[in-house]
Amino acid sequence: MKKIIIALDGHSSCGKSTMAKALARAIGYIYVDTGAMYRAVTLFAMRNGVFTEQGLDAVALEALMPQVDVKFKLDSETGLPLTMLGEEVVEQEIRSMEVSSRVSPIAALPFVREAMTGMQQRMGEQKGIVMDGRDIGTVVFPQAELKIFVTASAEVRAQRRYDELVAKGESVTYEEILKNVQERDYIDSHREVAPLKQAADALVLDNSNMTREEQNQWLLDAYRKAAE
């Protein structure tokens, strides 16, 4: 089997990262969650007063970008990557509703995308990587040997996200989550730089009615075909 790059793109909350992690573990590849990188930049922006009453101060963020140090550290217990901002583990903070509702405008900024894309390309130099995001098969690795575009209905995705947040003890309503999912879909698909769109040569995985086991098997089959 040759070492390849696997690009997994798709809508938010469609279980991409869960399945990408499972695939990476099954085949011994490195897993990179690029959404976590945009979330970490958003947390940095929130902490540094970039969101003002007048809105997002992109000029201020651009000036602060050299200080944004996003990286991953492997959790010694789970073997999974933890998102870091400088030396601080921010894996929990970046999943909050507040970060979720502020990340899309940050991810739409060209200078933020340029910085993250460069880092992601360096992470993939050795191949053997499963990278999940929105523009991995189209912008970051247009030459990836395997591209998968994952999708599910907005209602199914909102329900999954709602269950996840409630399990974590956050007080949210299904309606606000659905609205957030729909808004993010819109911004992610309509922004000028690297919008979410299916690469022409991507395989589509609609998991609205699939079990986790079915998805994992589907992915393994796709990997075997692409890497043989």
The closest alpha carbon to 43, from 69, 14, 9, belongs to 69
Among residues 35, 81, 124, 137, which is the contact residue for ligand DC, using CB under 6 A?
Answer: 35
Stretch that binds ligand DC, among 21-29, 34-42, 81-89, 160-168 (CB under 6 A): 34-42
Q: Please pick, from the candidates 91, 188, 207, 223, the single residue that binds ligand DC as defined by CB under 6 A.
A: 188
Q: Are 101 and 180 in contact (CB under 8 A)?
A: yes
Out of 21, 102, 161, 184, point to the residue binding ligand DC (CB under 6 A): 184
Q: Say if residues 36 and 175 touch (Cβ distance below 8 Å).
A: no
Applying CB under 6 A, among 27, 91, 129, 134 the residue interacting with ligand DC is: 134
Instruction: Please compute, for residue 98, the number of CA atoms within 13 A of its CA located in the half-sphere on the CB side.
Output: 10
Radius of gyration of the chain measured on its C-alpha atoms = 17
Strand pairing partners for 52?
55
The set of residues, in sequence order, having a beta carbon less than 8 Å from that of 170 and lying 6+ positions away, is 96, 97
Residue 144 sits at φ, ψ, to 5 deg, of -55, 140
**Of the ranges 57-65, 129-137, 171-179, 215-223, which one interacts with ligand DC (CB under 6 A)?**
129-137
Among 22, 24, 90, 107, binds ligand DC (CB under 6 A): 107
Using the contact rule CB under 6 A, the part of the chain among 122-130, 133-141, 157-165, 199-207 near ligand DC is: 133-141
Q: What backbone torsions phi and psi does residue 8 show, to the nearest 5 degrees?
A: -115, 110
Q: Is 157 in the site for ligand DC (CB under 6 A)?
A: no
Per CB under 6 A, which of residues 63..92 are in contact with ligand DC?
none
Instruction: Kindly list the residues in this chain that would bind ligand DC in the complex (CB under 6 A).
Output: 12, 34-35, 38-39, 103-104, 107, 133-135, 184, 188
